[in-house]
Amino acid sequence: MNLTNAHSLPEALYRADAVQALDRCAIETQGIDGFDLMHRAARAAFRQLLRHWPHAARVAVLCGGGNNGGDGYLVAANAYQKGMAVDCVAVTDPDRLKGDARRAFDEATSLGVPIEPVEAVSDKALFDRLCASDAIVDALLGTGITGAPRAPFDRIIQRVNRAGIGVLAVDVPSGLNASTGLASGDVIHARVTPTFIGLKAGLMTGDGPDCAGDVVFDDLGVPEATYDAASPVARCVNWRRASTMLAPRRRGAHKGECGHLLVVAGEQGLGGAGILAAEAAARTGAGLVTLATRPEHVSAALTRCPSLMVRGVTHGNDLCPLLSGVDGVVFGPGAGQGPWGQQMMQQVLARPHPLVLDADALNLMASRAPARRENQVLTPHPGEAARLLGITTSEIADDRLAAADRLQERFGGVALLKGVGTVVQTRAERPAVIEGGNPGMATGGMGDVLSGIIGSLLVQGLPAFEAAWLGASLHAEAGDRAARKQGQRGLLPMDLIGELPACLSDSERVGAPGSPADGEE
Ligand SMILES: NC(=O)C1=CN([C@@H]2O[C@H](COP(=O)(O)OP(=O)(O)OC[C@H]3O[C@@H](n4cnc5c(N)ncnc54)[C@H](O)[C@@H]3O)[C@@H](O)[C@H]2O)[C@@H](O)CC1
Ligand SMILES: [K+]
């Protein structure tokens, strides 16, 4: 997702069936004519076309057989009336169109929009036309898709992507599951996706952010009461929202009341993981951070970050004195799965502290009988999540919200499923999906930084769920700020850590906890 696009999206995320319920409510209960709603959607999409391609003179519009296709015919009509050259292709036989989609086709036809059935256009001619366009409007499939795109949609989606011309996807990039963000077959890669009435969860997680480009939300002016018709499946959160939740510190605050975190990490050869987690925790404001690591990593840790207390631990028993007197523990980064990691795990789990369990802690857990614990945050990536649940990573990708729910159910506490659109799940509250972050963060050590951040917020007194979603939002924001300064590909975890204080200063500017950030909502 575009890094500059954030923050104007609504918080409520819906599955496709819930958005369909909202559409129905707008029409049947709120008295908005369905065809009028389609006109509004088309105008909203066309506005984005003009905004993103202000000089477009020729557009190709590809229309499917449902209401998404109906939106497309009306976008084509808008473009035609604006004087653009329009290549409109009916991918489903217009004789099979029903209801508002049929009316949209009829209206476009009566205005003189040239519409050709797909069978009348050879593959090569279609490809040439796509390549000759300034922009392509994808109105093939929307929220009504079931499964992977079937012929001829699959072939057309491939052509569109191969043409290399900017695409505006109407409501949802065709081929994407609007509920889950799964692309189970061919899927449109759009530059912008104007989406209507309800923000679809699938645009914000899994394959969604990669395929949708800039997501622009438009409620099409439906009355507020429309939203009583369906519940959101999750909340879309970002640092701008999260930063308002951090209470400012008392002027008389002292380190003892800002929490003491113990980071247990760094088996032989993996010392950096613990150092990154501990430094990130210190930079997120923990009053005290102790790092328990292999003795050979002690001097490196102190050289890198002298404000840490660093203890060399060789056996599980060495950890006992360190565990008393801390407010929370991060365990797992670079801990290995050998005897060192196992001994440390045994000690850590035997105490009642709030916990963040990451990396090797999760691998060690996967080989034991699941033990539920309420004051813990598990932070698996999809591979670790699959091992914890005894399923495959592709089953995790099938429905990330459902996978996070299963993890939480099995292990209790909070499950944070990493990946694009990180999902944070707890029992009694609506899950959070994190907006933000960038592919530069796909590098070793970024997860260690995240676990340090969450641990730090835990010991500063945040409940586990808040610590997890605030922490993930902060991590994404720091990654985006670092990427804006120096690009994505060469990003290192230290660059994120360097951005943490500036990100946190947002919350200091905002003031009282719970007050809305300026310009938001
Ligand atoms: N009145 C409304 O309900 C509104 C709906 N809107 C648009 O309508 C869309 C939803 O419309 P629909 O519910 O008609 O659904 P869609 O238009 O998204 O898809 C349904 C069509 O796709 C076909 N299809 C489903 N799965 C397929 C697959 N795997 N391969 C090939 N074809 C497949 C179906 O046979 C059907 O023709 C929204 O995404 C939005 O664009 C907007 O116009 C706003 C108002
Ligand atoms: K579409």
Across the chain, mean pLDDT equals 94
CB 91 less than 6 A from any atom of ligand 1: no
Residue 509 banded pLDDT, cuts 50, 70, 90: low
Asked whether residue 418 is marked as a ligand-binding residue, the answer is yes
Query: Which residue CA neighbors atom 21 of ligand 1 most closely?
Result: 66
Asked whether residue 99 is marked as a ligand-binding residue, the answer is no
CATH number for the domain formed by residue range(s) 8-232? 3.40.50.10260
345-374 CB burial, b ≥16 within 10 A, e <16: bebbbeeebbbbbbbbbbbbbbeeeeeeee
Q: Specify the higher pLDDT residue, 510 or 245.
A: 245
Query: Which residue CA neighbors atom 28 of ligand 1 most closely?
Result: 149
Q: Flag whether pLDDT at 175 surpasses 60.
A: yes
455-469, 474-488, 496-510: segment of lowest average pLDDT: 496-510
pLDDT of residue 506: 81
Residue 194: half-sphere exposure toward Cβ, Cα within 13 Å: 25
Rounded Cα–Cα distance for residues 487 and 115 (Å): 43
Share of the chain above pLDDT 70, in %: 96
Q: Flag whether pLDDT at 395 surpasses 50.
A: yes
Domain ranges of the chain: 8-232, 259-509
**CA of 140 relative to ligand 1 center, distance in Å:** 8
Asked whether residue 31 is marked as a ligand-binding residue, the answer is no
Asked whether residue 514 is marked as a ligand-binding residue, the answer is no
Predicted ipTM of the assembly: 0.98
Query: Which residue CA neighbors atom 24 of ligand 1 most closely?
Result: 145
Mean pLDDT, to the nearest integer, of 121-138?
A: 97
Asked whether residue 381 is marked as a ligand-binding residue, the answer is yes
CB 461 less than 6 A from any atom of ligand 1: no
Rounded Cα–Cα distance for residues 266 and 315 (Å): 13
**Ligand 1 atom closest to Cα of residue 140:** 17
Best residue among 40, 68, 138, 187 to mutate for probing ligand 1's pocket (most ligand atoms within 8 Å of CB) is 68
**CA of 427 relative to ligand 1 center, distance in Å:** 33
Contacts of 110 (CB under 8 A, 6+ apart): none
Q: Flag whether pLDDT at 5 surpasses 60.
A: no
Residue 4 banded pLDDT, cuts 50, 70, 90: very low
Best residue among 67, 102, 140, 176 to mutate for probing ligand 1's pocket (most ligand atoms within 8 Å of CB) is 67
pLDDT of residue 299: 97
Protein fold of 259-509: UDP-N-acetylmuramoyl-L-alanine:D-glutamate ligase (3.40.1190)
CB 64 less than 6 A from any atom of ligand 1: yes
Tens-place pLDDT, residues 397-455: 999 999 999 999 999 999 999 999 999 999 989 999 999 999 999 999 999 999 999 99
CB 171 less than 6 A from any atom of ligand 1: yes
